[in-house]
């Protein structure tokens, strides 16, 4: 039986751009090292998706990992987030590897295939996780992987388990349950 996630349990609150600086700051690297977390899943030349990218804390790490022949599609609802990411990427000389994409609440706005997708600390904000997961499943290439990490402080074990069930009902299979600090995480395969 298909497990539904109520839109009242996830979604409805979007992290405002000014709040992002409370955790997306230089100290965050001590907790979340993008290279260390993502290197096992990404190789040079890949096209990857960072959905709910915020100001690109992970997009920049991904851009290093995909190299000059790869591409990072960075998607977010908020223009301020994408503008912040653009500035950071230009300063780091990485902007030509990054394609910005403005999402809407019910459509990530991406229509090209990718080998890897990341949804870091964002899925609990999505109003229709069922549609969201279906879209990612459709675009992820067969054999591709999708890493979801949710913040411990906002997402209970119960809600996270419901999310995992929903991913399985969407057609993903569980590859691993990586240990990420301050997070609940699942690595999915297609
Ligand atoms: C808590 S922030 C995390 C940002 C980033 N992933 C990080 O770890 O630094 C969540 C982000 O997800 C974005 N977001 C929320 N719902 C979204 C949706 N349906 N589609 C795309 N982005 C979304 C918000 O605008 C916000 O930038």
Write the DSSP assignment of 16-33 as a string of letters: -GGGGGGTSSTTHHHH--
171 Cα–ligand 1 center, Å? 23
The per-residue pLDDT for 10 is 57
Specify the residue with its C-alpha closest to ligand 1, atom 10. 122
The per-residue pLDDT for 77 is 96
The per-residue pLDDT for 11 is 66
pLDDT over 80 (residue 126): yes
78 Cα–ligand 1 center, Å? 8
63 token code pair: 């851009």
More confident call, 17 vs 107: 107
114 Cα–ligand 1 center, Å? 19
165 token code pair: 């069930």
Type and span of the H or E element at 150: strand 140-151
102 token code pair: 């403005």
pLDDT over 80 (residue 167): yes
23 Cα–ligand 1 center, Å? 13
Distance CA 49, CA 45 (A): 13
On whether the CB atoms of residues 41 and 189 are closer than 8 A, the answer is no
More confident call, 14 vs 42: 42
pLDDT over 70 (residue 122): yes
Q: Give, for ligand 1, the residue of 76, 79, 181 to mutate: max count of ligand atoms closer than 8 Å to Cβ.
A: 76
CATH architecture for the domain at 40-189: 3-Layer(aba) Sandwich (3.40)
Is the CB of 15 inside a 6 Å radius of any atom of ligand 1?
A: yes
Given pLDDT bands bounded at 50, 70 and 90, which one contains residue 1? very low
The per-residue pLDDT for 5 is 38
Is the CB of 99 inside a 6 Å radius of any atom of ligand 1?
A: no
Which letter, b or e, does each residue of 152-183 get, where b requires 16 or more Cβ atoms within 10 Å of its Cβ? eeebeeebbebbbebbeebebeeeeeeebeeb
pLDDT over 90 (residue 9): no
Mean pLDDT of 102-131: 96
Atom from ligand 1 closest to the CA of residue 119: 6
Q: Write the CB contacts of 19 (distance below 8 Å, at least 6 apart in sequence).
A: none
Is the CB of 54 inside a 6 Å radius of any atom of ligand 1?
A: yes
More confident call, 163 vs 8: 163
As a whole-number percent, the residues of the chain with pLDDT over 70 amount to 94
Tracing tokens 């069930």 back to the chain, one arrives at: 165
pLDDT tens, 19-67? 777 777 888 888 999 999 999 999 999 999 999 999 999 999 999 999 9
């Amino acid at each position: 039986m298909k497990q539904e996630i109520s839109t009242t349990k996830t979604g409805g609150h979007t992290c405002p751009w000014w709040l992002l600086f409370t955790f997306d700051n230089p100290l965050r690297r001590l907790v979340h090292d993008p290279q260390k977390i993502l290197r096992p899943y990404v190789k040079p030349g890949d096209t990857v998706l960072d959905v709910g990218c915020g100001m690109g804390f992970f997009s920049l790490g991904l851009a290093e990992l995909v190299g000059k022949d790869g591409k990072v599609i960075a998607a977010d609802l908020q223009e301020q987030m994408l503008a912040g990411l653009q500035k950071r990427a230009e300063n780091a000389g990485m902007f030509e590897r990054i394609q910005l994409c403005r999402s809407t609440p019910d459509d990530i706005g991406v229509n090209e295939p990718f080998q890897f997708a990341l949804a870091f600390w964002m899925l609990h904000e999505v109003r229709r996780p069922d549609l969201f997961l279906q879209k990612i499943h459709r675009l992820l290439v067969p054999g591709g992987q999708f890493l979801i990490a949710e913040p411990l402080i906002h997402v209970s074990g119960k809600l996270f388990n419901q999310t995992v069930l929903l991913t399985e009902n969407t057609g993903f299979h569980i590859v691993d349950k990586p240990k990420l600090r301050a997070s609940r995480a699942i690595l999915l395969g297609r």
